[in-house]
Structure 1
Amino acid sequence: MSEQIYDVAVIGGGFAGLTAAREASQLGKSVVVIEATNRLGGRTWTEDRLGTRIELGGTDVHWLQPHVWSEVSRYNLAIEEFTPPTELLYISDGQVHQGSDEFVFGLMDKGMSALADVARTAYERPHNPHFSNAAFDFDKLTVGEFLDGVDMTQLERDMTSSFWAAACQAPLDKAGISIALRWLALAGWDWQVMLDVISRYKIVGGTGLLIDGIVSDTKAEFIMDAKVAALTESESTVSIDLADGRSVTSRTVVCAVPVNVLSDIAIEPEQPHIQRIAAAGQISGGQKVVVRIKGDRAPYMAFAPEGHPLVLLQYDRSIDGDHIAVAFGADASAVNGSSRDEVEAVLRTWMPDLEVVDVATHNWTTDGLYRGTWAVPAPGQLRDQLEAVQARNSRILLAGADLASGSFGLIDGAIFTGTRAGRDAARMS
Structure 2
Amino acid sequence: MYTTDGATWTQSAGLRKGLPTIGVVEPAKLNTDAGDDYVYDAIVIGAGYAGLTATRDLTTQGKKTLLLEGRDRLGGRTWHATINGFNYEMGGTWVHWHMPHIYREISLYGLQDDWIVTQIPGSKEDYTTLTSYGEQRNISHAEEADIVGRVWRLFCNVDGDDLRHTWKYAFGTDQSPDLMAEWDKLSCQDRLDQVKRRLSVEDLAVLEAVVLQMGSHTPTGLNDIALHTRLRSGQSKLHRCMFEHAVSTGNLSYSFQTPVVRIEDANGIVTVVARDGTSYRAKSVIATVPLNVLSSIEFSPPLPQEKQAAAAEGSVNKCNKLHVDLNGPDWLSWGSLGAPGKGLIALFGDGLTAADNSHLVGFGPDPNTERGMQLDDIEAIKVAVKDLLPKDKAEEVVFNRIVYHDWNADEFAKGTWCYLPPNFITKYLSALQRPHGNVIFASGDFSDGWRGWIDGAVQAGMQTAKQVIDLQSKQQKVLPKVNAANGVNGA
**TM-score of the superposed pair, with normalisation by structure 1:** 0.91
**Is the contact between residue 166 and residue 328 of structure 1 (CA under 8 Å) also seen in structure 2?**
yes
1:27-426 superposed matches below 5 A: 27-49=61-83, 52-77=86-111, 78-84=114-120, 86-118=126-158, 120=163, 121-133=165-177, 134-150=179-195, 151-167=198-214, 180=215, 183-184=216-217, 190-218=218-246, 219-272=251-304, 273-298=306-331, 299-306=333-340, 308-319=342-353, 320-333=355-368, 334-349=372-387, 350-351=389-390, 352=394, 353-392=396-435, 394-426=437-469
The one-character-per-residue Cα deviations of 1:97-149 (angstroms, maximum 9, x if unpaired) are 11123433433344312234336255322111113213332111012211222
Q: Which secondary structure state, in structure 2, belongs to the residue aligned with residue 238 of structure 1?
A: strand
Q: Which stretch shifts more, 49-58 or 294-303?
A: 49-58
Are 2:16 and 1:14 aligned?
A: no
What is the alpha-carbon distance in structure 1 between the residues aligned to residue 417 and residue 128 of structure 2?
A: 26
Match of 2:59 among 4, 15, 25: 25
Match of 2:465, SS state, is helix
Q: How far apart, CA to CA, are the structure 2 residues paired with 1:307 and 1:296?
A: 25
CA gap 1:122/1:231 in 2 versus in 1, 3 angstroms: farther
In structure 2, distance between residues paired with 1:87 and 1:359:
23
CA RMSD between the two structures:
1.9
Deviations 1:365-423 (A, max 9, x none): 01112100111111111134431343145211110111112111111000000000111
Change (3 A) 1:95 1:50: farther
Change in Cα spacing, 1:295 to 1:43, as seen in structure 2 (3 Å) is same
Q: CA separation in 2, counterparts of 1:122 and 1:382?
A: 16
1:73 match: secondary structure: helix
CA pair 396-14 structure 1, distance change in 2 beyond 3 A: same
Q: Distance in 2 between matches of 1:308 and 1:341?
A: 12
DSSP-derived class of the 2:210 partner: helix
Change (3 A) 1:424 1:165: same
Task: Write out the 4+ residue segments of structure 1 that deviate beyond 6 Å after TM superposition.
Answer: none
In 1, distance between residues paired with 2:428 and 2:245? 29
Query: Given the superposition, is the C-alpha separation of residues 343 and 393 from structure 1 closer, same or farther in structure 2, using an over 3 Å criterion?
Result: closer
Deviates more, 1:114-123 or 1:318-327: 114-123
Residue 164 of structure 1: CA displacement? 1.1
Structure with the greater alpha carbon radius of gyration? 2
Task: Give identity over the alignment, percent.
Answer: 24
Q: Is the 8 A contact 2:310 2:432 kept in 1?
A: no
Mean Cα deviation higher: 265-274 or 58-67 = 265-274
Q: 3-state DSSP class of the match of 1:231?
A: strand
Which moved further from structure 2: 60-69 or 343-352? 343-352
Return the structure number with greater relative CO, CA threshold 8 A, min gap 6.
1
The size of the alignment, in residue pairs, is: 410
TM-score, reference length from structure 2: 0.80
1:170 alignment partner in structure 2:
none
Cα distance change on mapping 1:93 and 1:37 into 2, 3 Å: closer
Match of 1:21, SS? helix
Letter in 2 for 1:100: S
